[in-house]
Amino acid sequence: MTSPIRSDILIIGGGIMGCASAFFLRRRGISVNLLETDLVGRQASGTNFGNVRRQGRPLYQLPLANRSIAIWRQAQALLGTDIEYLQRGHMRVSYRNRPEIAGDMERYAAEAAQFDLDLEMISGNALRARFPFLGPEVLAASLSPDCGHANPRLTGPAFARAAERAGAGVHEMCKAVSAAKVGDDFLVTTQDGREFRAPILLITAGAWAKRFVEAFGETAPLTSRGPNMCVTEPLPYAIGPSIGVATPETMESVYFRQVERGNLVIGGSIQNPTFPDEYRVYVKPENSIGQWQQMQRLIPAIGKLNILRTWSGIESYLPDHQPVLGPSAAVSGLYYAFGFSGAGFQLGPGVGETMAELIGTGATDIDLTAYRIDRFSSE
Ligand SMILES: Cc1cc2nc3c(=O)[nH]c(=O)nc-3n(C[C@H](O)[C@H](O)[C@H](O)COP(=O)(O)OP(=O)(O)OC[C@H]3O[C@@H](n4cnc5c(N)ncnc54)[C@H](O)[C@@H]3O)c2cc1C
Instruction: Specify the residue with its C-alpha closest to ligand 1, atom 50.
Output: 48
Return the pLDDT at 74.
97
H helix runs in 225-323, sequence order: 285-298
CA distances from 52 to 69, 106, 162, 227, 273 (A): 8, 21, 20, 16, 25
Q: Best of 45, 149, 212, 322 to mutate for ligand 1, by most ligand atoms within 8 A of CB?
A: 45
Average pLDDT over residues 209-223: 97
HSE of 80, CA atoms in CB hemisphere, 13 A = 9
Could you tell me the distance, in angstroms and rounded to a whole number, from the CA of residue 44 to the centre of ligand 1?
A: 3
Whether pLDDT at 155 is above 90: yes
> Does ligand 1 have an atom closer than 6 angstroms to the CB of 208?
yes
CA 345 / ligand 1 centre spacing (Å): 8
Evaluate if residue 1 carries a pLDDT over 70: no
pLDDT given for residue 379 in this prediction: 60
Report which residue type is found at 240. Answer: G
92 alpha carbon – ligand 1 mean position (Å)? 24
Q: What is the mean pLDDT of residues 116-132?
A: 97
| 127 Cα–ligand 1 center, Å | 35
pLDDT in tens, 254-298: 999 999 999 999 999 999 999 999 999 999 999 999 999 999 999
Question: What residue type is 378 in one-letter code?
Answer: S
H or E stretch at 280: strand 280-281
301 Rama sector, left if φ>0, alpha if ψ -120 to 50, beta otherwise: alpha
- Per-residue confidence (pLDDT) for residue 3, from 0 to 100: 87
Q: Above 80 in pLDDT, residue 4?
A: yes
Domains defined for the chain, CATH in brackets: 5-49+152-219+319-376 (3.50.50.60), 90-145+227-312 (3.30.9.10)
pTM: 0.98
| Ligand 1 contact, 12 CB (< 6 A) | yes
Cα–chain center distance at 303: 29
Mutate which of 37, 62, 223, 259 for ligand 1 pocket (most atoms within 8 A of beta carbon): 37
For ligand 1, is residue 55 a contact (CB within 6 Å)? no
The pLDDT-based confidence of 229 (bands split at 50, 70, 90) is very high
Pair type for strands 223-225 and 200-203: unpaired
The verdict on the CB of residue 312 being under 6 Å from ligand 1 is yes
Nearest residue to 150 via CA among 235, 49, 77 = 49
